[in-house]
Structure 1
Amino acid sequence: MIDLNIQPPWNWPESHWQGLVDQARAGRAYRPAQWHEGKRCAVAFSFDCDHETNELNDGGKSIARMSWGQYGSRVGVPRILEILARNDVPATFFIPAVSGLLHKEEPRRIVSEGHEVGLHGWIHERNSVLSYETERELMLRSADTLEYLTGTRPVGIRTPSWDFSAHTLRIEQELDLRYDSSLMADEDCYELISYGQETGIVELPVEWIRDDVPYFLMHQPSGSRPHVPPSDVFEIFRSEFDAAYDAGAVFQLTMHPHVIAARSRIWILEELIRHAKAKGDCWFATHAEVAAFAKAHAA
């Protein structure tokens, strides 16, 4: 019997590589002919509130990095919420359960101001290194915790670091989640397919181009120090929005409070809102709202 664990990929039998590919695939596309109330484009802002779990997830103990995480809650989230309130724009906040427990008033305030809270792991763990039993228990524990904190049970998930295991989609089905926002097979919403079977779960896809981290995140231990001028990042995000608007599609954006909320960067969010509102026919909605509408009204 061939041990596939030590075989190079070019020696894998077709059944093996086909099985790997078939674990989670894009099925039918979900793009409505028009969006809610006849709007041309859907705008879905999201914020991953990793906070201190960015350090804790791999067993880290750096006080400096945990203080950086605290900035995300202490400064970033309030600053973001003020902008959203001022512009009457809803958004989705994906929160690791440990972040929620460290800052209990944060998820409560987010929901009280009309925004959505979604799952983002227990302590921002990496799903792909977990057993099915552990991943399922953590996802269930996270859903219970966020429901306890907010009074509302999450209906969607963004896996930590967009890390998707062989068990993730099965567990999402078992927890009766309605959507996922971790994968990248399209720019429009689509149904997730597992081994050729429909799951009923909508994917609202992400993309590194539409994420603030690759442009700004400095990681001292690795020596990675990217810094793209905020004006350049705004131009990239605006170009992504303009293309989505022209296509009558959805513009989804991923941001992190400890990254985007810096004084020199936070204007990007408000300027994007201003730019989209100037079009006159954009629907600003949570990820749950966009996913549900796309599925119900797909052309």
Structure 2
Amino acid sequence: MTDKQPWQWPESEWRAKVEKIRAGRPLLHPDVPRRWNDGDKAAVLLSFDADHESGALRDGQTSPGLMAQGEFGTRVGVPRILEVLKRYEVHASFYIPAVCALLRPHEVPAYVESGHEVALHGWIHERNTLLTFDQELDLLGRAADVLQEQSGRRPTGIRTPSWDFSDSTLEVIRELGLLYDSSLMADDAPYELLADGNPTGVVEIPVEWIRDDAAYLEMDRYSGLRPYLSPRQLLQIWKDEFDAAYSANSVFDLTLHPHIIGHRSRLVILEELIDYMRSHAGVWFATHEELALHIAPQLTAGQDFKTS
């Protein structure tokens, strides 16, 4: 660990830090027409980070008010979301911290019974960049054990809590044999992760704050965090994002939170968005795992994603 200021780093140091975790080859070739599942034109991935009380618990904040705000996510938001997904016959990915799964052992089985993916989201929504490799591996390994016990199968993917990806996270992902990550932002289509310039075989399904409800709708009375768009203004942003992905035969992935999107005036825009996307021909609604499995063979083949 150097005591030098960043402007004093030699080139070897700043170059090594930048290249620690990078985007490798794209897994959607920009110049090749693609067809997804059953000849579909574009892939839509809906995902829900079931954080509930864990964000506050992580920081040692246990006031009844904060606990109630998180409880809304599981008590009200999740049932509403599951009903919407069932009505539209859409499968989604649910990322849940192990502590939330342990608080309500019925929640993960409900996702599985409805045909949804259950994937890793840390132990207690911890901040990975504050952990050592051993701590991060221990927490995520125990979280995987919890989700496997409750869901009946080992999770294959991860979204790091708060998208906090440490210098050790990729090594932890590989140690646990995970297929994909969905926490980084180097592209708006899937790519392979590199570690110190070397291919890893790990699929990255990138996220973005533009496609996250928390960036627009979250509220904290004691800070400057305030909703600054109406839900219907936000709906237009997501429609535009989908339109661009559809035109490019690419991927539109959306990150939502039950305690945020699950409110009545907000859930209605999710329904309208699904209606809008379903009005387009050839849209494949997939889980993150399904998408990763669909493109993973290209990694072993050593080729970019191409289909005939």
Cα separation, 1, equivalents of 2:250 and 2:269: 21
Cα separation, 2, equivalents of 1:15 and 1:78: 52
SS at match of 1:265: helix
- Shift of the alpha carbon at 1:157? 0.1
Cα separation, 2, equivalents of 1:40 and 1:241: 12
Q: 1:9 maps to what in 2?
A: 6
CA contact (8 A) 1:90 1:285 kept: yes
Cα separation, 2, equivalents of 1:224 and 1:280: 39
Cα separation, 1, equivalents of 2:158 and 2:173: 8
- Shift of the alpha carbon at 1:220? 2.0
1:20 matched to 2:17? The reply is yes
- 1:239-291 per-residue CA deviation (whole Å, 9 max, x = no partner) reads 00010000000000000000001110001111111111111210000001112
Cα separation, 2, equivalents of 1:85 and 1:79: 10
- Shift of the alpha carbon at 1:175? 0.2
Where do 5+ consecutive residues of structure 2 fail to align? 299-304
Q: TM-score, normalised by structure 1?
A: 0.97
Cα separation, 2, equivalents of 1:247 and 1:110: 31
Q: Would you say how many aligned residue pairs link Structure 1 and Structure 2?
A: 296
- Shift of the alpha carbon at 1:100? 0.5
Letter in 2 for 1:73: T
SS at match of 2:278: helix
Where do 5+ consecutive residues of structure 1 fail to align? none
Cα separation, 1, equivalents of 2:269 and 2:55: 23
Cα separation, 2, equivalents of 1:18 and 1:159: 25
Identity of aligned residues (%): 51
Cα separation, 2, equivalents of 1:171 and 1:25: 16
Cα separation, 1, equivalents of 2:95 and 2:74: 13
Cα separation, 2, equivalents of 1:4 and 1:131: 17
Cα separation, 2, equivalents of 1:294 and 1:238: 25
Cα separation, 1, equivalents of 2:263 and 2:252: 23
* Alignment RMSD: 1.1
Q: 1:266 maps to what in 2?
A: 267
CA contact (8 A) 1:217 1:227 kept: no
- Shift of the alpha carbon at 1:143? 0.2
Q: 2:184 maps to what in 1?
A: 183
Cα separation, 2, equivalents of 1:62 and 1:228: 28
Q: Which moved more, 1:146-155 or 1:119-128?
A: 146-155
Cα separation, 1, equivalents of 2:56 and 2:92: 25
Q: 1:254 maps to what in 2?
A: 255
Deviant stretches of 4+, over 3 Å: none
Q: 2:193 maps to what in 1?
A: 192
1:78 matched to 2:79? The reply is yes
Q: 1:162 maps to what in 2?
A: 163
Cα separation, 2, equivalents of 1:35 and 1:242: 17
Structure 1 residues 1-299: aligned runs within 5 Å: 4-5=2-3, 7-31=4-28, 33-296=34-297, 298-299=305-306
- 1:58-94 per-residue CA deviation (whole Å, 9 max, x = no partner) reads 1111210111100000000110000000000000000
- 1:183-217 per-residue CA deviation (whole Å, 9 max, x = no partner) reads 00001100000001111100000000000001110
Cα separation, 1, equivalents of 2:228 and 2:64: 23
SS at match of 2:202: strand
SS at match of 1:43: strand
Letter in 2 for 1:214: A
CA contact (8 A) 1:95 1:119 kept: yes
